Amino acid sequence: MSAAGDHDALDRAIVRATQAGLPLVPRPWEAVASAVGASPSLVTERLRAMLSSGAIRRIGAVPNHWRLGWTANGMSVWDVDDAKVDELGQRVGALPGVTHCYRRPRRLPAWRYNLFAMVHGRDRTEVEAQVAAIAGVLGGASRAHEVLYSTRILKKTGLRFA
Amino acid sequence: MPGLTDPVDRSLVDALHGDFPLIERPFAAVGERLDLDERDVIARIRALLDDGTLTRFGPLFDAGRLGGAYTLAAMAVPPEAFDRMAQIVNAFPEVAHNYARDHRLNLWFVLATPAPEDVDAAIVRIEAATGLPVLSFPKEREYFVELKLPA
């Protein structure tokens, strides 16, 4: 097996060993290392490599933002001119209250929106102000929009690979 | 402000957003910055996980960069069947997140799978299990992703 193939298998093993969370022990990387059968220094080296490749977005805490007081979560969706969506999407994503911003396919006739911008606030008034700021950036390039507020978090485990 | 009332927990959650050190005793290092000892850091994280303030603590993986795939999917569920359908969808290990939203499309979930072709297979199985059509919205372009809200 190639070195890259070895890394691939080890990386997958590290994903499986940590996707539900790090062991809460004084030496967590050692615990991960013994779970995957590698040395701690190799495990931290692979974690560093996965951080720099973007396979790991970050290592840290995932808060339930509802519990932190961010109880208003609006998924704003916009029908934006295809010729302008990429340039405008960058600008919408850069707005301070926007936490995620993606272009996604329309599903006509059921769904006309191609730009999705997630907005969080401590109440709906804050979300509405953010949505107004997005509308200001998009101007006439947006033909319609809606805000879908979340009413319940039903599951938030993150990815689970077998 | 609403949210975490304990100022120590609040600074701990902020300090744990990212950059958890890849060193032998990372909890001790985090504690040093906050004037907490290692045992206290670990006990507080455990308590925050137990009471649901944190949903997880560890590396956040990007399925796409691991050779897998994501999609955002939505269903229009009749209100009287909502809880039952949500349970059926939640039972799929491919479902990483699931939210109820106030819209005709009232169930929105993220699928994350180890291989790209598994996404469509999971959708077919979810449609079969629920008897409802699933709309899939794979990302075509990512403009920004950074969920950092002050605790």
According to the model, what pLDDT value does residue A53 have?
Answer: 94
Q: Is the dihedral of CA B121, B123, B126, B132 positive or negative?
A: negative
Mean pLDDT within A122-141: 96
Q: What CATH class has A72-149?
A: alpha beta
Structural domain contains residue B56: no
pLDDT at A2 over 60: no
Q: How far apart are CA B30 and CA B21, in angstroms?
A: 8
Instruction: Name chain A contacts of B44, Cβ cutoff 8 Å.
Output: none
- Same domain flag for B38 and B87: no
Put simply, the chain B residues between 125 and 144 with a CB less than 8 A from any chain A CB are 135, 137-144
CA distances from A65 to A76, A95, B8, B16, B68 (A): 18, 19, 18, 14, 26
Number of domains into which chain B is organized: 2
Structural domain contains residue B132: yes
- Which domain does B17 fall in, by range? 7-50
**Banded pLDDT at A8 (limits 50, 70, 90):** confident
Instruction: Name chain A contacts of B38, Cβ cutoff 8 Å.
Output: 26
Put simply, the chain B residues between 68 and 87 with a CB less than 8 A from any chain A CB are 68, 72, 86
The 10s digit of each residue's pLDDT in A14-26 is 999 999 999 999 9
For B30-79, what is the HEC assignment?
HHHHHCCCHHHHHHHHHHHHHCCCEEEEEEEECHHHHCCEEEEEEECCCH
Domain boundaries, chain A: 3-53, 72-149
Q: How far apart are CA A111 and CA A63, in angstroms?
A: 31
Beta-bridge partners for B118:
none
- Same domain flag for B74 and B44: no
**Banded pLDDT at A3 (limits 50, 70, 90):** low
Instruction: Name chain A contacts of B82, Cβ cutoff 8 Å.
Output: none
- Same domain flag for B46 and B68: no
Question: What is the average pLDDT score of chain A?
Answer: 93
CATH assignment at residue B93: 3.30.70.3460
Tokens representing B44?
């507080």
Instruction: Name chain B contacts of A73, Cβ cutoff 8 Å.
Output: 99
Mean pLDDT within A129-137: 97
Q: How far apart are CA A77 and CA A112, in angstroms?
A: 9
- The pair phi, psi for residue B129, each rounded to 5°, is -70, -30
Selected for mutation to probe chain A from B23, B61, B110, B135 (highest A CB count within 10 Å) is: B61
Instruction: Name chain A contacts of B135, Cβ cutoff 8 Å.
Output: 107, 110-111
- Same domain flag for B75 and B125: yes
pLDDT at A4 over 80: no
In the chain, the amino acid numbered A41 is S
Structural domain contains residue B144: no
Nearest-CA distance from A81 to chain B in Å? Answer: 15
B109 touches chain A (CB under 8 A): yes
According to the model, what pLDDT value does residue B150 have?
Answer: 59
Structural domain contains residue B2: no
- Same domain flag for B93 and B43: no
The angle, 0 to 180 degrees and rounded to 10, between the axes of the packed helices A40-53 and A3-18 is: 90
The 10s digit of each residue's pLDDT in B116-133 is 999 999 999 999 999 999
Q: Do A68 and B114 touch (CB under 8 A)?
A: no
